[in-house]
Chain A
Amino acid sequence: MTSVSDAPPAFNGRAIAAIYRFEMARTLRTPLQSVVSPVLSTSLYFVVFGAAIGSRMQEIDGIAYGAFIVPGLIMLTLLTQSIANASFAIYFPKFTGTIYELLSAPVAWWEVVLGYVGAAATKSVVLGLIILLTATFFVPLRIEHPFWMLLFLVLTAVTFSLFGVIIGIWADGFERLQVVPLLVVTPLAFLGGSFYSIDMLPPLWRTVALFNPVVYLISGFRWSFFGVADVGVGVSLGMTLAFLLVCIVATGWIFRTGYRLKN
């Protein structure tokens, strides 16, 4: 056989690319489920909260209610889609058994994760931008800090895709795959200020809300749009990076020990 080079590269970029392309192809095969349905459900939020209820709401921090909820809605989609995409992507090969190939290939765990997280995060970011575009049809929007907006978008997508990878490895059935997003992430996202400013809460609940990590994500993201925030933008960025770090460390531990991947 030809071209059998002896020393394999210390970095398997082709494997990352192969996994990334595989995952992107999977999305493009199911555009209805991947793109249309999140866009549709977000549009419904705009119609219900923005137009119907929003018209009876006063402005928050000088921002029309319809516009105020846009960053929160994008975050909501970003969180749920990143987790859903990445956890499914890693769980499915485990479920069908095709993971044997990943385990037998000359790839490091972080290369595998990079492929999956890269694809899941790409999808969420694109989706977030599509929703942003959709939103401009419903409400007038301004983005004061576009760079920070993109940074928060990408950081959040990456962080929660990693979180999704962890869930996908931990899950040993479809139920477990659903349980964390449904019972933990969605409530945290709803209570994290997607539809209100936590300053509107009574003092006690405001303190409780500060334990919700999603508050920091939404607050920072909203600041990048309107320049107003519930908490300082530095704190938001710090919390996002901290959560990213926790996810990286946890993923590293999982792969090094072979937890739930190798017997």
Chain B
Amino acid sequence: MPAMSPIISVSGLSKTYASGFQALKTVDLEIRQGEIFALLGPNGAGKTTLISIICGLVNPSTGTVKADGHDIVTDYRAARAKIGLVPQELTTDAFETVRATVSFSRGLFGKRKDPDLVERVLKDLSLWDKRDTQIRRLSGGMKRRVMIAKALAHEPRILFLDEPTAGVDVELRQDMWQLVRRLRESGVTIILTTHYIEEAEEMADRVGVISKGEIILVEDKTELMRKLGRKQLTLSLQAPLAALPESLAGYDLILAAGGDEIVFTYDTKAERTGITALLQALGEAGIRFRDLNTSQSSLEDIFVSLVRGRS
């Protein structure tokens, strides 16, 4: 990806709630223009807190955020005009119609009335049939789409989706990802949080992992996938070993299952995996095995081990 100036830059951001709980430690983060950035983290990690600060819902304790070069506090009008937010919780009006609530959002963001645009947004989200329905008569999934429509009504350049697919069926999830891709194609930067690692894997250009108020990893997804390219070869031994012999010191080996197994980690993308040499070395050391299998670590494994490693 070519180097571009970040569309969002977060520096030294921390948040301590009135209760005294520190939800964000010191967060530094840059979001690139036009990318889909997935923020992954367990419950309570601080994802919503981070998004809420950037969008103006929560006051930061320290630090600054710039959106498209505009400080979110001192230059909030310019910053917020660029941002659309779909919050995690389903919160909509009840008695307004779908079309009225979407038009309201556009007005709130200072944009001229544009019925054609509202129509397009509603059609994109399969809400056009429901345009004159009161929101309270919609299903949960439809309400979520209404919230997305509201966030898109002012044509934001940056879109935050806080767990957009929580409680959403498979079909709607597919629709949503299609929409996200279309938006990205039109130049919108998208930041989403999710618990579904496959989603991040499928959709994101970059992935950030947050845990206990700290960003512990930000990586290109392809880079992450390369790391995922690491595989493990597990050898079940005929006789347990007390220790690995000296002759095997050059290999990335772990003695597991009380000496019954040897686990070898290797890179599938590397020129030589070293499997042949290892097997030969094992034979020379007189180690015999009765079974072997290979496994690939997923983003989920990496994620879990990262988060565990911190606790």
Main SS class of interface, B: loop
Complex Cα gap A19–B96 (Å): 13
A105 on the interface (CB 8 Å rule)? yes
Q: How many A-B residue pairs have CB under 8 A?
A: 98
Within 8 A of B (CB), among A99-156: 100-108
A3 on the interface (CB 8 Å rule)? yes
Nearest B residue to A10, CB-CB: B77
Min CB–CB distance B105 → chain A (angstroms): 6
Could you tell me if B78 and A7 are in contact, using CB atoms closer than 8 angstroms? yes
B76 on the interface (CB 8 Å rule)? yes
Within 8 A of A (CB), among B140-198: 150, 155, 157, 186-188
Known: A22-B104, A26-B95, A97-B91. A104 touches B58 (CB 8 A): no
Min CB–CB distance A7 → chain B (angstroms): 7
Residues of B within 8 A of A22 (CB): 96, 104
A-contacting 9-mer, from B2-10, B80-88, B233-241:
B80-88
Query: Which residue of B89, B91, B112, B117 has the most chain A CB atoms within 10 A of its CB atom?
Result: B91
Complex Cα gap A14–B57 (Å): 21
Residues of B within 8 A of A101 (CB): 85, 105, 108, 150
Interface size on B, residues (CB 8 A): 42
Which one of B83, B93, B100, B103 lies within 8 Å of A98 (CB-CB)?
B93
Min CB–CB distance A6 → chain B (angstroms): 8
Complex Cα gap A18–B108 (Å): 6
Known: A97-B91, A100-B85, A106-B77. A15 touches B110 (CB 8 A): yes
Could you tell me if B105 and A104 are in contact, using CB atoms closer than 8 angstroms? no
Residues of A within 8 A of B110 (CB): 8-9, 12-15, 106-107
Residues of A within 8 A of B186 (CB): 1
Could you tell me if B107 and A29 are in contact, using CB atoms closer than 8 angstroms? no
Min CB–CB distance B145 → chain A (angstroms): 16
B18 on the interface (CB 8 Å rule)? yes
A208 on the interface (CB 8 Å rule)? no
Could you tell me if B93 and A96 are in contact, using CB atoms closer than 8 angstroms? yes
Could you tell me if B95 and A262 are in contact, using CB atoms closer than 8 angstroms? no
Known: A10-B77, A26-B95, A262-B59. A4 touches B157 (CB 8 A): yes
**6 A-B contacts (beta carbon < 8 Å):** A1-B188, A9-B77, A97-B89, A100-B87, A107-B110, A108-B77
List 7 other contacts, CB 8 Å, given A8-B78, A96-B93: A14-B108, A14-B110, A15-B109, A98-B93, A103-B55, A104-B55, A105-B109
